[in-house]
Each structure stands twice: as structure tokens, then as C-alpha cells.
Structure 1
């Protein structure tokens, strides 16, 4: 059980964290560099994505190999960017990265700005990303707050204010700022806060006896913290699409919605066929944000289908290089694997 003190001491906590991190830091590629581009890519990829996914499945390495700097990314075609990002989801992140790269090239002469205000003014950059790049790349004493840090700080201060409320967020940023300004190594301090949440101050069964700041932690029941507001309900959604294959390729539809603009998918079943849908070829489930989706893939009706401008036959040889949401890629591989035409592995 953590030991309580009258009031957490930012200087003492910061010193303990930096010392602990110096001896226990995990080795991640973005920790071996001060390059703001490489650090930015990591931070954007890690938004809503686990470290194991980004590293073990090679997304980070492939991205840097294909787009090693702002100039390369800024000049790339959007379909190349989306294809390289494919499988990470939340494709707006990839588009924002490219928009940012273009602004760095056009407005900053190809040099990433080194002050916090300018970083925060770049496209798609919020307070967390700005603070992360400012501290990790330039050593600036800028705070950051993510899920791990929210948990650590809520427990240190034994604070049940919902972390996703306006008041809770304000307190977290203030407390994070106190810590990062209490050290001469902001890079290590911010990294230590995140690492502590990943390794010891975990959501369940926290290793309080191994915690480097246990003497400063006021939490009486750590597993009850942090507190969050009521979660949104998961909504069930049904999608009906068609799989039309000819000797020339597969019919695909260009996404135009906000979430996956620029990606290709199996075309939606024409509205006039929804009430009496054609035979089902495949059913699968996938989740995205607060939705649980059931995807029904149908064989198209025999009559001639009038293709809108957003549809085109994609040759088999181009299917693998065509940017596509992961659920549709999985469905397409399954369907093509049943016949003579297959996608490459």
C-alpha cells in the first residue's frame, strides 16, 4: 500500500522519476533520436494504438523507410501515404501528418519549429503532441498528459475528479506542468511518467511495492482511480456491400466520408436491393470507435449494374497496392482466396 504524505512534492517526485527512468528505461527507437520528425511520427502512430502494434508489426519502421523526412512525405501521393498507413486505422492521422509535412516545407523552410507555440500551431497538432515533441526533441519543459499519465497523477494525488471532465483535465495538466518544470531533464521526466503507467501503475493490480514514487503517493485504493465519466454505449451497425469480380478485376468504391476519405472498399449494396438482398457470400464482424459492425458481403444481382463515378474496376495486379481499410482487405482476401484470383500475402 502506498505511503501517504501531507502533500505530494513535485521536486522530490520528479527527482525520483528521472533517477528511476535512467536505470529502467525501455529501449524504443524513438528514444534513440532527437529528430523531431521521427519523434512526431511515433507520437501520432501511438495515438489510440498500442506500442506492440506499432513496433512488432513493423508500421513505424516501414513508414520511416518509405517517408524518412518531411520533404519525402510532403511530396508523396496521398494513396501512397494511406497505403503505408494501412492497418493502423484512424486514417485522418496519416493525412494530418502529410498536411503538417507540407506546411513545414512551405512555411518553415523544411525545418521543424523548435518552440512550443509554433509546434502547437501546425495542422493536426494538439497539446499532447506539441508537448511530447517539444520535450523529447528539444528538451523543453512542456507538460504532457496521456492515459498512463492521467492514471499516475490521479493516484499520486488520490483525486477522484473524472479525468475526462473539463475540471479533471485542467488539474492533470497543471500537475504535469509542476513536475516537468521541477526537473532539468524534461525529456526523461515525461518519458518516466508514461513508463511508470505502462509498467507499474497499471489499471489493475498496480505494483505499488516497486513504484519509485510510492512514498509520495496518496492513493488509498489505487485500482479505483482514475475515475471517468459514463462511457458511451457501443452501437451495433450493419453494412451491406457487394463483391463483383470480372476477368479484369474487382469493383471497388472510393470512400468519401470524413473517416476514411481516399481509401477504397467493397461497394455498398444499391439501396433498391436492400429490402431483398442478393445471396450472402461472407459475413464478418469488426469494431471501430464506439461501433460494432456486422459486414455482409453479397453476390451482385445478375442485371447490369450502373457504376457511379466513385466506383471502378481495380485490376488484380493493383489490389495489393490500393489503400483499403483493414476489414475490407480481410474480406477481399477471403473472397479471392476461394477462386482462381488471389491477393499476394
Structure 2
């Protein structure tokens, strides 16, 4: 049930109100967003077109890159446009849509990271049964479950947001619509709703992070049986995954696992998991993965060469 009665639009305060800093924000975040789209596009197309990247790890990496592009697109364009706009408004419906989309793709990223860690666990701890356990059908079902789980999570978030009545200030002290800054504007006692947010988003982030930490400890313990070369290759892959996990979960846990209080640093912390991490993921996975780099060289090098010959 929608409780909103008097507010039809919100004003996003953004990262700053300083005109000079806003111009810098426009330039910097436009480049970050374009780099995010370009990097994730290359990974998605390379995995889809390359015959050498057919393992479950790259199957999940495909969905991680797709989710990164969608999560960034949910947040970054509004921030970029608002940086040079005089009127930084967002309609009530657009705001609710952004809440749903941000939590949907954010939750999907969590599930994909867990699936990638599970894939590495099976590959390292149960190598003889790897192809049986992680067959294409199982991987597809796991991804579908991730989409369903994300939809359930984001639906719960949007139902909480839709129940908030707004009758006073409509200025959101943030650069995108999220439940925490919206709770500050609600004309009601939001203690119970905040507990629900913490028990939902906060619990998902914290429990998932603990699960991932445990899985990586088990993986590292299991590597003692491997040869030096085997340990080096496995550690390289797991290190890439762990860097992504820390960059994404650290800010999420900071934002979603505390009482209904906001700090000035919240917006900069949110930048990490909404914009920085989706941009860094392609770099982390390509620079530290020889198979992806070689597949990109073969695919895109061949395309460039053929286009040059056509001219």
C-alpha cells in the first residue's frame, strides 16, 4: 500500500553543492561510467564468443559483468546528469524504481560472488567431481535462483519504501534513492522499518560475507596439497575474487548494518559499491587472468585486423 500523499518528487542533494566540484564530478564519473560499460561489455562479449572460456567460472563471470553494468547504469547516469543540472529532481515513481533496481542488481552481485566462490571451492577441494557437480544445467539453475532471490529481496525493500509517508522536506541527502536517506524524510516513527532494513539488507551482506570468508579459508587450507605451480594459479584466481569481495562487501556492511543514523561519509562509501567496484571488476579479472586476456586478444585482435583488411 502506497502511503505517500503530498510529495510527488524529490530533490537529490548529490555529492556536493559546490559548482566547481560538480563540474569535476561530471567529468570524473562520466569517465568512470563509460569505463564500466566498456570493460564489462568486453568481458560479456568475449566470454559469449570465445570457445576457450566455457568453464563455470567464466559462466558466472559473464553474469557478474552483466550485473555490474546494470548496477552502475541504475545509479551513475542520474549522478552525472544532476552534476550539471540546475534542477536535480527525481519523481516519486522514478525514485521507487531506483530503490528496487539498486537493491535487485546489488543483491544479484552478492549471489554471483557466492556462486563464484562455490565454484572455486568445488574446483580446488573436489577436483575429481568438479565437472559432475558444476555442469551447465546446475550452473544455470543456480543463476536462476540468484535472480529469484534478488527479486524477493528488492520486492521487500520496495514494499517498505512504499509504506513511508512523506509530508515535509523532499530533499534527499544522497546522490540516489535508497531506504536510509528516505527514512529521514518520512513523517512517522521509522524504528521498526529500520530494523527490517537491517535484518534484510544488513543480514544478507553480513552473512554472505562470512560465508565467503569461510569458503576462502577452506580453499586456502586445501591448497597445501597442491604443487607450487598449482597453488600459484589457484591463489591468483582466488585473490582476484577476494579483492572484489572486500571492495563490495566492506561498504555495504558499513551502510546497511547499523541503526537509523547517517554520516557525511556515507555518500562516499556508497560510491565504492555502486560505481567504483563495477568499474574495477573488469580490470581485476582481466589483468590477473591470462585466459581472459588471451581470449580478448584473439577475439578483438582478429576483429580489428579483419576491419583493417576490409578498408
TM-score, with structure 2 as normaliser: 0.25
**TM-score for the superposition, normalised by structure 1:** 0.23
Higher helix share: 2
- Greater share of residues in strand: 1
When Rg is computed on C-alpha atoms for both structures, the one with the higher figure is 1
